[in-house]
Structures are given as C-alpha cells and as structure tokens.
Chains A and B, each alone.
Chain A
Amino acid sequence: MAAARLDPALRARWESAEGRGATGSDKEAFEIIMSASIGAGLARWDAAIRAIAQASDATA
C-alpha cells in the first residue's frame, strides 16, 4: 500500500516553527492542506473521467 502523502517539503515546512510563522495562522495552514488535498483528488477525477469518456467514444 502506498500512503497518501502531501508534498514532503511542504509538510516539513508546515511542521517547522518557521513554517507556522510563514503560513501565519491555523486558517492559512488549513487552506494550504485543503488545497493540496483537493488538487490530488481532482487530478484523479480528471484521469478517471478521461478514461471513461475515451472508452465510451471507442465503443459508440
């Protein structure tokens, strides 16, 4: 099994004291985490919809 991982460099930055200062607040850190997660999910959604559409085109 491969663990779902956010970018390790970003994660390390958030977890460091410097990173917390750079992100500024819990709300901003939350937005970064949610944005990265949504990007990973939507990339997979795009891949799936593309594969399904192309499969349907070929059988139409």
Chain B
Amino acid sequence: MRLPEVERGDDLRSRSLIRLISAISGMRLPDAARVAFYHKDFVGPALGAWTQAAMRGPSGWTVGERELMAAMVATWNSSAFCIGAHRATAVHGIGAATVDACLADYRTAPIAEPLRAALAFLETMTLRPEELLPSDARAAMAAGVTRAQLVDAAAVAALFNIITRYADALGFAIPTAAEFDKSALMLLKRGYG
C-alpha cells in the first residue's frame, strides 16, 4: 500500500528536499530516500545508523560484497526494488558478470569460497531462520569465514530482511535501469546515513 504522505513528505522541509533532490538529479527521488525523510522521530535515525555501519563501516567484507549480500537477501525475499538497487550498487565493486551469476545461483557463481559459505548461511537465516543451527555457522567458518565476518554478514542480512519487507509493503516504485545506476552511484558516494 502506497502512503501519500510518504510520497510527498510530511513537513515543509521534507517536501522541499524531495523536490530539490529530484530536480537536481533529474530523476524521481526513490521511495527508499522518501522513507528515510518520513516520520523521523520513529525508527529512521536508528535504522539509518545501523545500515550505514553495516554497509559502509569497517568489515572483513568489501562494500561490493556487502551490496551483493543485500541483493541476495532481496532475491530470496522477491523484492524487485531492492534487487535492482543493490545489484546496481554491487556491480561497481565486483562486476556485473559475477553479480548476475550470483543472483542466478550463488552455489555455482565464480566467487571466493568464504563468500559462498556466508551466502549459504544467510540463505537459511532469511528463508528458514528456525532451522539455522550452530552447524551452519561452523560450516561457514570451516570454509574460511571468520566469526567477525559472519556477524557482519548477519547484520547485513538482518537489515535487508527489514528493508525488503517495508519496501514491498509500502509498494516502492521500481526505477528504470538507468535510474538504478544513477542511484547506485549516489549510494556509493553518500552511503546510507
């Protein structure tokens, strides 16, 4: 369900910002940014800070690998907006061919084994969290994922299990491929804060 107040902004400052950024960028401000501007005294600042830390903070994973994890969670959750947004961002770090191979089947994609093992952990975490066991974590660590890396990957997946749900529940509009590319560059430059 689309909420008109999220679309247009809930105060004069937000409405002005939405219009200004749309005019400067030459494209409609994506709904993800409109949500970040909306009802800021609810969960926005905390969620934004956690997302910035997980996606751009210090980590044993590169920014491109974390963006790929986000795109994978979006794929498992069938969230068209998040697949498009995070695929477009991940390709700048690890290349379109590798990202698309992962989105098709990460088990056979040409990626490092620790990343593949982390994705297997995140897949169970996303689709069957009640089945996630210490043996799943041990399998990832046996493939070379450190404990800290697994925690970092779990944070990315937890966040995108939140974001994909509200993106779909709020009926995020799907940008064109060119708009996703433009937004990806902004996301790489400015982050999530």
Binary B-proximity of A2-29 (CB < 8 A = 1, otherwise 0): 1110100001001100000000011101
Which residue of B has the minimal Cβ distance to A48? B154
Q: B interface, by DSSP: helix, strand, loop or mixed?
A: helix
The distance from the CB of A45 to the nearest CB of chain B, in whole angstroms, is: 4
Question: Cβ of A29: which chain B residues have Cβ within 8 Å of it?
Answer: 1, 3
How far, in angstroms, from A30 to B42 measured CA to CA in the complex?
Answer: 10
How far, in angstroms, from A26 to B129 measured CA to CA in the complex?
Answer: 31
Question: Cβ of A31: which chain B residues have Cβ within 8 Å of it?
Answer: 39, 42
Contact present for A41 and B162 (CB under 8 Å)? yes
Determine if B98 is an interface residue (Cβ-Cβ < 8 Å).
no
Q: A interface, by DSSP: helix, strand, loop or mixed?
A: helix
Question: Cβ of A47: which chain B residues have Cβ within 8 Å of it?
Answer: 125, 129-130, 132
How far, in angstroms, from A20 to B86 measured CA to CA in the complex?
Answer: 32
Which residue of B has the minimal Cβ distance to A32? B169
Question: Cβ of B5: which chain A residues have Cβ within 8 Å of it?
Answer: 25-27, 30
The distance from the CB of B162 to the nearest CB of chain A, in whole angstroms, is: 3
How far, in angstroms, from A11 to B136 measured CA to CA in the complex?
Answer: 33
Determine if B170 is an interface residue (Cβ-Cβ < 8 Å).
yes
Choose one: B1, B147, B164, B165; the contact of A14 (CB below 8 Å). B1
Contact present for A49 and B151 (CB under 8 Å)? yes
How far, in angstroms, from A43 to B130 measured CA to CA in the complex?
Answer: 9
Question: Cβ of B32: which chain A residues have Cβ within 8 Å of it?
Answer: none
Contact present for A2 and B76 (CB under 8 Å)? yes
Contact of A54 with B125 at beta-carbon distance under 8 Å, contacts A26-B5, A33-B170, A42-B158 already known: no
How far, in angstroms, from A14 to B166 measured CA to CA in the complex?
Answer: 14
Contact present for B43 and A38 (CB under 8 Å)? yes
Determine if B26 is an interface residue (Cβ-Cβ < 8 Å).
no
How far, in angstroms, from A15 to B1 measured CA to CA in the complex?
Answer: 6
Interface residues of B in 88-109 (CB under 8 A from A): none
The distance from the CB of B81 to the nearest CB of chain A, in whole angstroms, is: 12
Binary A-proximity of B7-47 (CB < 8 A = 1, otherwise 0): 00010000000000000000000000000001100110001
How far, in angstroms, from A56 to B151 measured CA to CA in the complex?
Answer: 12
Question: Cβ of A30: which chain B residues have Cβ within 8 Å of it?
Answer: 3, 5-6, 38-39, 42, 170
Determine if B135 is an interface residue (Cβ-Cβ < 8 Å).
yes
Contact present for A48 and B158 (CB under 8 Å)? yes
Which 10 A-B pairs rank lowest in CB-CB distance, beginning with the nearest? A41-B162, A4-B77, A55-B137, A45-B158, A48-B154, A37-B165, A26-B5, A54-B134, A3-B78, A55-B134
